[in-house]
Structure 1
Amino acid sequence: MATIAEASEVRTKQALPASLKLGWGSGAFGIALLMNGVSGLILLFTASILQIDPWLAGLVIFLAKLIDVVTDPIVGVWSDRYESSKGRRRPFLLWGSITGAISFALIFTSPSFENQYLTAFYIFIVLSFYAIAYTIYNIPYMSMPAEMTDNYHERSSIHAYRMVFISLGSFVATAGVKVVLEALGKTEPSSYAVVGVGCAVLILISTMVAYFTTASARFTQGAEKSTKSNAAQVVHEFNAVRSNRHFLRLIGVKFAQLLGVQTSGAAFAYFFVQSLGRDFNILAIFGTTVTISTIIFAPLLVKFSQRFGKKNTYYVAASVNIFYALSWSLASEGEPLWSIVMRAAFVGIAFTGNVVMAMSMLTDIINADANRTGVRREGAFTALYSFVEKLTGAVGPLIVGFALSFAGFNNKLPFDVPQGGNVDTALLFSVSWLPALFGLVAIWILSGYNLTEQELQAARAENTANNEVNKQEKS
């Protein structure tokens, strides 16, 4: 008979069924559409379509995201301790699917009141609802891979499948949406309403598919019942999480990197129209190229990481992203299509490496912590990680909104009318210089990350041995 250690080793080498990876990964389509559809359009929509001053629009987007300070830890610890025959996480996927789709539709069907502050207040309410819905789905969803497998490289494989669906969802949010807006009239509020309702349907279908197809996924039991109050439990769990040096290093990398990405994303549609003199159809070609590049490089980068390590793969992706950002400083009005497409191909490499490696490293950290402490904290870890992602998504539009206001951007004009001068400088600052600077900071922080496969295997072996000793003592 195999020993417990041998049985554990066999289990860790088993690959998950492709059908399960596809099913779980499909939820990323809806999440990517939900996130990128809002982040890529929200500043332009609120400032130029709803006619809210750019600084106020950026401030409202930022304040609505602050609700995640409360909701992220609550949902994270709640999903850690939730008990259900369907697992701890899957019920949240059901609730988040419905509320997420509704929230997306509400945002882009927002009315424009005569008083811009009333419009801003309405946007704040629906964006707050959106933030809560996104949290309910995404935190439990992103916690699932840590439960689904113990295999070091299988975690990268899972997220490579997810990366494909992220690419497809981002494709719809960037290329698809831009083509529709260009065809219907990109300055017409009714066009955004059509996009909002149509995307909401796609979000609902995708996220529900992930709910149904993960019924067979392995899930672990939550922490034992505690006599502490709910608030005390949240504080206790997050004190444990934030004391993890590997995790603090990883979220430092993600904060710096994503702050650049989100700043660029908030300004990108303006930059294409204002500075490059291009329409949304060219922006759609850019998005299509990014999607193709991402799908091609996802499996290649996983193989690269298996040979050279996750940290080195992350270095490559982050470096590519810096050079990509700086390349926009060389662009000018009427930039040739070939150079735009080439940049998009490099974005695919950077985006894939950053997302896949970061999430694979996160699941490594979660499992290492569980092996060391004997407590499963997937939700708590993912909640803090997700909050950093969403915080940068709030700060990015805030930076761009104030930059445009400071540059004298006139939001009463149609946004496809070039304003030049300081506006172009503010946009270049947002899509090139600032992202490159933040990328360098991310690489510097990453240099201190040192959680390896060998360390994980040692922790797992020690945990198995301790469990065996405890069983013998009890018997």
Structure 2
Amino acid sequence: MAAADSGPARAVAGPPEEHPPGYVGKLPLSLKAGWGVGSMGCLGMLFIVNVFVLYFLVNHLGVDPALAGLILFITRIYDVFSDPMIGFLSDTTRSRWGRRRPWMALGAFMSGLALILTFNVPALASMNALAIYQLIVLIAYFTGYTLFYVPFMAMPAEMTDDYNERTSIMAWRVGYSNFAGILIGAGMPALINYLGADRRAYGIVAILVGILIAATMMTTVLLTRRARELPSSQQDRYSIADYFRALANNRPFLTLAALKATLYLGVGVNGSALLFYMTYFLERGEGGVALSTLAGNLAGLCTVPLWAHFSRGKDKRWVYMVAIVGSGAMLISWAFATPTEGDVVFVIRSCLVGIFGAGGLTIGFSMLPDTIEYDRIRTGKVRTALYTGVLGFVEKTGFALGPLLMGFYFSATGLVETTLGAVEQPDSAITAIVNGKAWIPATLQALALFWLVSYRLTEKQLADMRGAPGASDAPAGARD
């Protein structure tokens, strides 16, 4: 077996330096920070489509809630099925710039442009034309996101094989995500509110945010050129049968995928209801979204290092459980908020949401590279992007179902669409909005605990597998 290299890649010209599969070691902060900054673009795109698009279609373009939810569902289902394909392409691409970064660069450009077009809608003759326009633009939106996200998330599993170092890498990602929550999640609704909270305001802010998202993604492309990629001899061209066999034989990954599917459905439901909740229930509008997001992400940003430190040397499953239980409790608390509630209570609740959310993201993200290494040790094959693509498939299925379900739920309970920004809503629609913000996602958090208890992969198990005879020096394809 090749000797482990405990140092970072050499700063020399040429393709990414290659290390043997058994490489375990600390990564330079510059590499972790350079990789993590791409999370700002990813988080920004997810936040915008989960929180603003359904609301924008219903309250500014006058689209029926059911039709708006269906538009988002169709485009996200397309995105669901594109993930494994992009994962396959990323795993098998060979270029002077590596396997991942060419796709990430293309995704950065498409993401920024599609975001701008989503909120800058030309005058169209009919609702059918508007629906077709949004379908095309949102397909481009999700294609750009996938082209960047799938290879981006494949990189940590190849950067290092160290169980705890992966948590550190993901802590950088969550930290940048929290910063994006402050800059985009809070800044975007605040600026929209300042500019008048009308259709024109959404269009102007979309241009600024689209440029920012493309810039953060391209920064990661440039700063990860020295990131480790596994040797080309380890890059397997697997068949569709191999694809499904690998998934079926990786029980830790299947359990993690089921857990994530449950949580992401809750996130999709919650995000779809958020701006409606702030507008019609708490009567705070975009300003409420800005304040809540700012407080939550500041608190999350401050506590990410604590979660990473707290999890070191512990079973990640139990740390994750603390975060999920806390998040569920905070979701339920929104059902008991009132329009007369003071800013102090509002901010405290938002901070607690951010703290538990940061813990869930930090630990949850770090578990994916562990399941990928589990497959690599067992089979000798490198299928990193395959797994990130499938988890992206799971993530986006949950996100797709969220707005679809809430769109039909809102329509069935009489929520009134408008082009005026906000109108009087019936009590039945208000109840549906509160259920979408609090009770439905909290129930899904509780269900996710069942899957978490079933997850069994630990640091000791991975270490034992690495030390087993022939575990890491088998040639690609030697075992399956």
TM-score interval (norm. to shorter): over 0.9
Distance 1:48 1:458, change over 3 A: same
Task: Choose which of 422, 427, 430 in structure 2 pairs with 1:421.
Answer: 427
Alpha-carbon distance in 2 for matches of 1:436, 1:227: 42
Distance 1:460 1:226, change over 3 A: closer
1:131 has 2:142 as partner: yes
Task: Report the counterpart of residue 289 of structure 2 in structure 1.
Answer: 283
1:299 has 2:310 as partner: no
**Would you say the 8 A contact 2:58–2:68 is kept in 1?**
yes
Alpha-carbon distance in 1 for matches of 2:193, 2:100: 39
Task: Report the counterpart of residue 473 of structure 1 in structure 2.
Answer: none
Write out per-residue CA displacement over residues 84-142 of structure 1, whole angstroms, 9 at most, x where no aligned residue. Answer: 23221111111111111111111111235342222111111111111111111100000
Report the 3-state secondary structure (helix = DSSP H, G, I; strand = E; otherwise coil) of the residue aligned with 2:256. Answer: helix
1:74 has 2:80 as partner: no
**Would you say the 8 A contact 1:5–1:464 is kept in 2?**
no
Task: Choose which of 205, 209, 214 in structure 1 pairs with 2:215.
Answer: 205
Task: Choose which of 194, 204, 209 in structure 2 pairs with 1:183.
Answer: 194
**Would you say the 8 A contact 1:310–1:357 is kept in 2?**
yes
1:344 has 2:350 as partner: yes
Task: Report the counterpart of residue 448 of structure 2 in structure 1.
Answer: 442
Q: How much has 1:41 moved relative to structure 2?
A: 0.2
Alpha-carbon distance in 2 for matches of 1:279, 1:53: 20
1:364 has 2:370 as partner: yes
Distance 1:410 1:156, change over 3 A: same
Task: Choose which of 253, 264, 273 in structure 2 pairs with 1:258.
Answer: 264
Distance 1:124 1:311, change over 3 A: same
**Would you say the 8 A contact 1:238–1:380 is kept in 2?**
no
Alpha-carbon distance in 2 for matches of 1:354, 1:225: 32
Q: How much has 1:458 moved relative to structure 2?
A: 1.5
**Would you say the 8 A contact 1:263–1:431 is kept in 2?**
yes
Alpha-carbon distance in 1 for matches of 2:390, 2:229: 21
Task: Report the counterpart of residue 157 of structure 2 in structure 1.
Answer: 146
Q: How much has 1:338 moved relative to structure 2?
A: 1.5
- Where is the helix percentage greater, Structure 1 or Structure 2? 1
Q: How much has 1:175 moved relative to structure 2?
A: 0.9
Task: Report the counterpart of residue 127 of structure 2 in structure 1.
Answer: 116
Task: Report the counterpart of residue 214 of structure 1 in structure 2.
Answer: 224
Q: What is the letter of the counterpart of residue 319 of structure 1?
A: V
Alpha-carbon distance in 1 for matches of 2:342, 2:116: 35
Alpha-carbon distance in 1 for matches of 2:80, 2:218: 26
Distance 1:108 1:457, change over 3 A: same
Alignment of 1:449-468 (within 5 A): 449-462=455-468, 464=470, 467=473
Task: Report the counterpart of residue 170 of structure 1 in structure 2.
Answer: 181
**Would you say the 8 A contact 1:81–1:222 is kept in 2?**
no
**Would you say the 8 A contact 1:371–1:463 is kept in 2?**
no
Alpha-carbon distance in 2 for matches of 1:361, 1:432: 27
Distance 1:454 1:203, change over 3 A: same
Task: Choose which of 377, 391, 395 in structure 1 pairs with 2:401.
Answer: 395
Task: Report the counterpart of residue 325 of structure 1 in structure 2.
Answer: 331
Distance 1:226 1:453, change over 3 A: closer
1:90 has 2:89 as partner: no
Distance 1:99 1:223, change over 3 A: farther
Task: Report the counterpart of residue 407 of structure 1 in structure 2.
Answer: 413
Task: Report the counterpart of residue 53 of structure 1 in structure 2.
Answer: 64
Task: Choose which of 190, 203, 222 in structure 2 pairs with 1:193.
Answer: 203
Alpha-carbon distance in 2 for matches of 1:46, 1:223: 49
Query: Identity of aligned pairs, percent?
Result: 32
Report the 3-state secondary structure (helix = DSSP H, G, I; strand = E; otherwise coil) of the residue aligned with 1:67. Answer: helix
Distance 1:367 1:227, change over 3 A: closer
**Would you say the 8 A contact 1:79–1:140 is kept in 2?**
yes
Compare 277-286 and 257-266 and name the one that shifted more: 277-286
Q: How much has 1:411 moved relative to structure 2?
A: 1.0
Distance 1:76 1:242, change over 3 A: farther
Q: How much has 1:463 moved relative to structure 2?
A: 5.9
Distance 1:238 1:222, change over 3 A: farther
Q: What is the letter of the counterpart of residue 216 of structure 2?
A: S
Cα RMSD for the two superposed structures:
2.1
Q: What is the letter of the counterpart of residue 152 of structure 1?
A: Y
**Would you say the 8 A contact 2:44–2:180 is kept in 1?**
yes
**Would you say the 8 A contact 1:270–1:415 is kept in 2?**
no
Alpha-carbon distance in 1 for matches of 2:235, 2:313: 42
Q: What is the letter of the counterpart of residue 151 of structure 1?
A: D
Q: What is the letter of the counterpart of residue 98 of structure 1?
A: F
Alpha-carbon distance in 2 for matches of 1:452, 1:158: 18
Q: How much has 1:13 moved relative to structure 2?
A: 5.2
Q: How much has 1:342 moved relative to structure 2?
A: 1.3
**Would you say the 8 A contact 2:23–2:161 is kept in 1?**
yes
Q: State TM-score, norm by structure 2.
A: 0.92
Task: Report the counterpart of residue 432 of structure 1 in structure 2.
Answer: 438
Alpha-carbon distance in 1 for matches of 2:233, 2:404: 39
Q: How much has 1:50 moved relative to structure 2?
A: 1.2
Name stretches of at least 5 consecutive residues in structure 2 with no aligned partner: 8-21, 476-480
Task: Report the counterpart of residue 19 of structure 2 in structure 1.
Answer: none
Q: How much has 1:26 moved relative to structure 2?
A: 0.6
Q: How much has 1:416 moved relative to structure 2?
A: 3.1
Distance 1:227 1:349, change over 3 A: closer
Q: How much has 1:284 moved relative to structure 2?
A: 1.1
Q: How much has 1:8 moved relative to structure 2?
A: 6.5
Task: Report the counterpart of residue 19 of structure 1 in structure 2.
Answer: 30
Task: Choose which of 383, 388, 408 in structure 2 pairs with 1:382.
Answer: 388
Alpha-carbon distance in 1 for matches of 2:25, 2:473: 22
